[in-house]
Structure 1
Amino acid sequence: MKLNLTTGIIPSLNVSAGLLGFFFVKSWTKFLEKTGWLKVPFTRQENTVIQTCVVASSGISFSGGFGSYLFGMSEVVAQQTGFNNAQNVKNPQIGWMIGFLFVVSFIGLLSAVPLRKIMIIDFKLTYPSGTATAHLINSFHTPDGAKLAKKQVRTLGKFFTFSFLWGFFQWFYTSGNGCGFSSFPTFGLQAYNNSFYFDFSSTYVGVGMICPHIINVSVLLGSIISWGIMWPLIGAKAGNWYPAGLAPGSLNGLQGYKVFISIAMILGDGLYNFMKVLSRTIIGISQEIRDKRKAVIPVVDGDLPEKTFPSYDDEQRTKLFLKDQIPIWFALGGYVTIAIISTITVPKFFPSFIWYYILVIYIVAPILAFCNAYGCGLTDWSLASTYGKLAIFTIGAWAASSGGGVLAGLAACGVMMNIVSTASDLSQDFKSGYLTLASPRSMFISQVIGTAMGCVISPCVFWIFYKAFPDLGIAGSQYPAPYATVFRSMAMLGIEGFSALPSHCLELCFGFFVAAIIINAIKDIVGKMWAQYIPVPMAMAIPFYIGSYFTVDMCVGSLILFVWQKVNKAKADAFGPAVASGLICGDGIWTLPSSILALAKVTPPICMKFLSSADNIRVDNFLS
């Protein structure tokens, strides 16, 4: 949730979930064995089920839209963007958030059930994250793997403790806006004013260690292009390109360029990857159908292909995977039932989101869920947010005439994102279960339980942030929730069209939209060897709106891992994810006590601020 509300960059935490699941349950079962209460060993199948449940639960903090579409409905975001009339604003409340998530989060699981045999057995899709998680869990349950897992958990614990205590230490110096280590002008005050500084965030150092090096370089390049070059130049055009003296958050001024150019790059990248994955999906399916037809056409003896037989392990995996069936009638009946309940219920939360909008989404969603699950199996890239943006534009424009288009578009985004996101997540987990010989039915039930937990836990965690930090969602604050502004601005763009853009913004948006497509095309043309050196447009777009401070943190994390790999690659590969997870989790957990202190109106005792020498003289003169 903290990652969601700060920059929106959320790395995969599957490894952390698998590692901690192994550690906690292994410790518990050892205790029970010593007491004589337990005779059954802790297996990799149980480890897989635990990991599935935890990831399903935490995944709701992303697909639930607390940093994007759901919070984008709020008055705080509306006041910074526009369309802040009653029809287009809905402030967060625990009750309706939990209710909304319960009626939209489960239908994606049911849409994935009929696809599991096609994806895993027939098409043999790799699902890289699911496969990597399965191999990790399998390794834990070997003698050597168990020893390494203990060392990894010990490393994670050390850095978790360090990160938590570092967050606690920093808190003492943050009694006011712009106070503390997070406002340290590392590269000087001029660079600080353009958001270039190291803010001592262990979270984003850890994120930088998990993310590929090219992602970290891409966000740094994006921040240099935007905050280092473009915004100072466009800022100098105040009074010419846009009125001078506008409020800092007005989309008619510099803020509009930041938001809409960022959106243009995100849409260009999303459109390219959508078309690429869709074309690969169509080609893959047609190839499978062609191969099956060839298999039944008689051929002459000389043309017989060399027959390949599956290994004994694959035979056993397939046998177990197909034995423990989830009935198709259950999935289809459940889909229709939940769709009916949702169609009736969701308009109660959002009156402008009329029932037939939802019905159209539920008719189209299974096709998009299949495309997303298939594409994720090929590329490990979930396009859930892209499908959500598609829903924003289509439903928002459709509902524009009723006056509640912004809210309807954002609600449609939520319905669509939850369906396609959970469908691809469950397919990943089915692949993990296939490789660890875990029962598909137990995987499905675990995903359902985890989703139900997430529908309660995530809104409660978000509510703590919402109540503890009054400036949540405001640009430049500790928790700016950048994607909330981006998603709401997209909904406005779908309704108003290009009239919402300030002068010359459309030309710049078009240029960056095309640039994102060209960069992606070049990455695919040059091949894997050179593609690793070409930046990722989606990552470049993130700092355009948010700022550059987190990019410095991520690059520090990336540099630490790079040097570590040069010194001892085996150790870096084994312990790097554990160190990163510890840094992220420790700083994230510190947010809970800091939120409680904020709710209790306990303020830190010290404000540490940095001033220029001229400002310092003025302050001294004033005090004297």
Structure 2
Amino acid sequence: MAERSDRSLSEDESRMNPESEAKVKKGGSGSQSWSWEDENNGLLVERIFEGQGVPSWRRQLTFRAFAVSFALNVMFAFIVMKLNLMTGIIPSLNVSAGLLGFFFVKTWTKVLEKSGLLRVPFTRQENTVIQTCVVASSGIAFSGGFGSYLFAMNERVANQSTDTQSAHVYKNPSLLWMIGFLFVVSFLGLFAVVPLRKIMIIDFKLTYPSGTATAHLINSFHTPEGAKLAKKQVKALGKFFSFSFLWGFFQWFYRAGDDCGFTNFPTLGLKAFQNRFYFDFSTTYVGVGMICPYIINISVLLGGILSWGIMWPLIETRKGHWYPAEESPNSMRGLQGYKVFIAIATILGDGLYNFFKVLSRTLSDLYHQLRDREMTHVLPFTNGSSLDNSQVSYDDQRRTQLFLKDQIPTWFAVAGYVTIAAISTATLPHIFPQLKWYYILVIYLSAPTLGFCNAYGCGLTDWSLPSTYGKLTIFMIGAWAGPSHGGILAGLAACGVMMNIVSTASDLTQDFKTGYLTLASPRSMFVSQVIGTAMGCVISPCVFWLFYKAFKDVGLPGSEYPVPNGIVYRSMAELGVEGSSSLPEHCLTLCYCFFAAAMIINGFRDLLGKKWARFIPLPMAMAIPFYIGPYFAIDMCVGSLILFIWEKTDKAKADAFGPAVASGLICGDGIWTMASSILALARVNPPICMKFLSRATNKRVNAFLGS
């Protein structure tokens, strides 16, 4: 899940290794436990759970599941929103959702059990419902565009525009229209892929690595040995959650003004600090670094060194030649223009390469699946056919039987899609007058196909590309509308429509895979996804509104929450509508070079294979610090270093407890962010400003104060 930006770095590159997510150490002699390798080694998971009944789909949807989901949705909304507004890098939160869901409900049932009031035991199906609901809701915090296309419409971003003529084209956020917009666009993707669930999960046997890993994790929680390990994991999560929260509270006392506090600590020296190389003591990004693969963290750091360590200082020496010397540092016609547009070119190069790579692989695999199906004339599993016990494992028989038991009628999915599409087509032009009804109709006619491609590609590769589809939509609709008919806002709004459809389509199909492996009913998965999406449509805008009102400098360069993707999406919309004439000198040439370099580097990664590709940096990750600086990359690399040393000293323990520690660090800081936002709204300000000055500046300050 999780950017989630292009291949989502939250949802794709930043996903944990499924083996480290799901691995559970075997117990001692006589104990029966489950691990990732069990099925491959002949130990059948469903044999372990054979004595447990499977509740009906209605009984899987319990009040306590949605009560816990709501609490976790609020927590995760703050976490995702903070990451969105700071850097746009969001790790997968599936493991945290499953782990915290297990902890809260297990605590709930334990209290009721001791009081003699427990009537319904906690099952893995209920755990899956919680995880599905939480991931659906936190997904809206990303695909809702609060750190990308939606914020790009804002006046604060428009004032940073390269084109002064388009600076008046903006739409400021409002709680009412944001909630309305999300409600009319966020449910379509759910109905688009429902008729294809059997084809994706059973006929084509798509793996959905993250969904599979999450299912194995939940299964492991509910075996006797797995439950013991889960309790230890939760205890570790609680310790680091408390530490992270208290550390955030301690830091708050020293942030009474701009550039104050530990977040501006010049750990690598003042000169390095000026170029944004410093460790800012963020437990959030230390935790993110522990979750993200090593290559992501190294790529982000290399991108920061390349841009802020080499390129920007060199380009700055060309002030007065390549761009006007009198331009302000934040002007898009000056150095800022290079930062933003070179990042855009790199992101587009990486995104388009992977889009066509996944699309070609999807079409090729689909062709072979259909060809094999025609040759055999028999699907692996059908509703009425008997299963070949000699070829099909007990697990597959059991899972397929229950997966096909609770059908979601195709007519229901088609009717739902058409109804919501009609409501959306009639409603959206009232929210965005620039987005004409025929633009929306074209998007909705093409969206099911694109949603299928994204869901299928995600099943093959674990790559979900909602922002790539969204960026392509920006250019197409923006160019169609043109500058005189509000093409900028039309393109950004169309981006939101497309992103929400393709994102929810892949998320739901992945949840179907998780439900298939935990024997959760497809109906309960669908209902949970719908409820989670509805919660996200309300919770996420409210959390964003809290940030927007509590921190008056959200979206401004150099602030705590610069919203880097906001200016990136705005600039793409302007480029699609206006062209590239307003860019500073040689900027377009550099953009072409970085666009080509991103494609070439990705090509090398694929040619060299997995063995050597892990040593080649990812262009997408490298591009992220181009605009905001590498300070968060240092935090992430510290997280990687901690995990690396831990794995070298005790790999089994690091695999088992690393995700819990990382989740605790992220969640504790996220909860403190909620508390600090409320304090800011209540005008309760920190009492102390801690600043760091050079020796010369300190002498001048002392002399001034002495006089």
Give the one of 145, 155, 163 matched to 1:65: 145
What does residue range 104-253 of structure 1 map to in structure 2 within 5 Å?
104-253=185-334
CA contact (8 A) 2:158 2:167 kept: no
User: Within 5 Å, which residues of 2 pair with 1:47-446?
Assistant: 47-81=127-161, 82=163, 88-296=169-377, 309-446=391-528
2:623 aligned with 1:578: no
Q: Say whether the 8 Å CA contact 1:206–1:557 is kept in structure 2.
A: yes
SS in structure 1 of the partner of residue 624 of structure 2: helix
State which of 601, 606, 614 in structure 1 corresponds to 2:688: 606
Q: Is 1:453–2:524 an aligned residue pair?
A: no
Shift of 1:333: 0.6
Q: Which amino acid aligns with 2:117?
A: W
Q: Is the 8 A contact 2:346 2:595 kept in 1?
A: yes
Conservation of the 8 A alpha-carbon contact between 1:87 and 1:403: no
Deviations 1:433-458 (A, max 9, x none): 00000000000000000000000000
User: Deviation of residue 131 (structure 1)?
Assistant: 0.2
- Give CA-to-partner distance per residue, 1:335-367, whole Å, 9 cap, x none: 011001000000101111111000000001111
Q: Which residue of the partner structure matches residue 90 of structure 2?
A: 10
| TM-score with structure 2 setting the length | 0.86
Deviation per CA, 1:8-40: give whole Å up to 9, x if none: 000000000001111111111122222222233
Retained in 1: the 8 A contact 2:158–2:168?
no
Distance (Å, rounded) in 1 between the aligned partners of 2:265 and 2:167: 40
Give the distance between the partners of 1:296 and 1:376, measured in 2 at CA.
27
Distance 1:367 1:213, change over 3 A: same
Shift of 1:326: 0.5
Distance in 2 of aligned mates of 1:287 and 1:10: 35
Q: In structure 2, what is the equivalent of residue 41 of structure 1?
A: 121
Partner SS for 1:70:
helix
Q: Deviation of residue 600 (structure 1)?
A: 1.7
Letter in 2 for 1:47: N
User: Within 2, Cα distance between the matches of 1:83 and 1:449?
Assistant: 43
Cα 1:403–1:341 change in 2 (3 A) is same
Q: Partner of 2:49 in structure 1? A: none
The alignment yields a C-alpha RMSD, in angstroms, of 1.3
Match for 2:105 among 25, 28, 32?
25
Asked whether the equivalents of residues 106 and 451 of structure 1 are also in contact (C-alpha less than 8 Å), the reply is yes
Paired residues of 1:97 and 1:459 also in contact (CA < 8 A):
yes
Secondary structure at the counterpart of residue 412 of structure 2: helix
Q: What are the ranges of 5 or more consecutive residues in structure 1 without an aligned counterpart?
A: 298-305
The letter of the residue matching 1:94 is: L
TM-score, structure 1 as length reference:
0.97
Aligned partners of 2:306, 2:606: CA distance in 1, in Å?
Answer: 23
Letter in 1 for 2:604: I
After superposition, the C-alpha distances for 1:396-431 in whole angstroms (9 at most, x for unaligned) are 111115431110010000000000000000011000
Does structure 2 conserve the Cα–Cα contact (< 8 Å) formed by 1:87 and 1:407?
no
- SS of residue in 2 equivalent to 1:139: helix
- Aligned partners of 1:390 and 1:438: how far apart in 2? 36
CA–CA separation in structure 2 for the residues paired with 1:548 and 1:289: 47
Q: Equivalent residues in 2 for 1:461-540 (5 A)?
A: 461-540=543-622
1:226 deviates by 0.2
Separation in 2 of the partners of 1:331 and 1:397? 33
- Given that 1:83 and 1:406 are in contact with CA atoms closer than 8 Å, whether structure 2 keeps it comes out as no
The residue identity in structure 1 corresponding to 2:565 is Y
Aligned residue identity for 1:58: S
3-state SS of paired residue (1:447): helix
Aligned 8 A contact 2:483 2:578 in 1 = no
What CA distance in whole angstroms lies between the structure 2 residues aligned with 1:620 and 1:190? 22
1:552 to 634, 645, 648: 634
**Aligned equivalents of 1:40 and 1:453: distance in 2?**
25
Amino acid in structure 1 at the alignment position of 2:611? M
- Does the residue aligned with 1:309 lie in a helix, a strand or coil? coil
Q: CA deviation at 1:586?
A: 0.7
Tell whether the 8 Å contact from 1:111 to 1:335 is kept in structure 2 after alignment: yes
Letter in 1 for 2:434: S
Find the aligned partners of 1:10 and 1:285 in 2 and give their Cα distance.
Answer: 31
Structure 1 CA distance for aligned equivalents of residues 94 and 563 of structure 2 = 24
Structure 1 residue 293, shift from structure 2 partner: 2.0
Match of 1:323, SS state, is coil
Q: Which has the higher contact order (CA 8 A, sep 6+)?
A: 1
8 Å contact from structure 1 (residues 83, 492) kept in 2: no
Partners of 1:500 and 1:64 lie apart in 2 by: 30
Cα displacement (A) at 1:83: 5.8
For residues 493-548 of structure 1, the C-alpha deviation after alignment (integer angstroms, 9 at most, x for no partner) is 10111213211001100100011001101111111111111101100000001111
Looking at structure 2, the residues matched to 7 and 90 of structure 1 have their Cα atoms a distance apart, in angstroms, of 22
Offset from partner CA, 1:203-240 (integer Å, 9 cap, x none): 00000000000000000000000000000000111110
C-alpha distance in 2 between matches for 1:14 and 1:401: 41
Q: Deviations over 1:116-149 (max 9, x none)?
A: 1111011101000000000000000011100110
1:303 matched residue in structure 2: none
For this pair of structures, how many residues does the alignment match?
A: 616
- The alignment partner of 2:604 has SS state of helix
* Residues 85, 517 of structure 1: alpha-carbon distance in 2 compared, 3 angstrom cutoff: closer
* Residue in 1 that maps onto 2:67: none
Q: Distance in 2 between matches of 1:403 and 1:341?
A: 23
The letter for the 1-side match of 2:511 is D
Letter in structure 2 aligned against 1:324 = D
CA distance in 2, matches of 1:290, 1:579: 47
Q: How many angstroms does 1:245 deviate by?
A: 2.1
**Structure 2 partner of 1:302:** none
Q: Is the 8 A contact 2:85 2:562 kept in 1?
A: yes
Aligned partners of 1:528 and 1:400: how far apart in 2? 44
Give 1:383's aligned amino acid.
Answer: L
In the alignment, the residues of structure 1 paired with residue 165 and residue 411 of structure 2 have an alpha-carbon distance, to the nearest angstrom, of: 45
Q: Does the CA-based 8 Å contact 1:429-1:443 persist in structure 2? A: yes
Equivalent residue letter for 2:319:
A
CA contact (8 A) 2:286 2:636 kept: yes
Q: How far off its partner does 1:169 sit?
A: 0.5
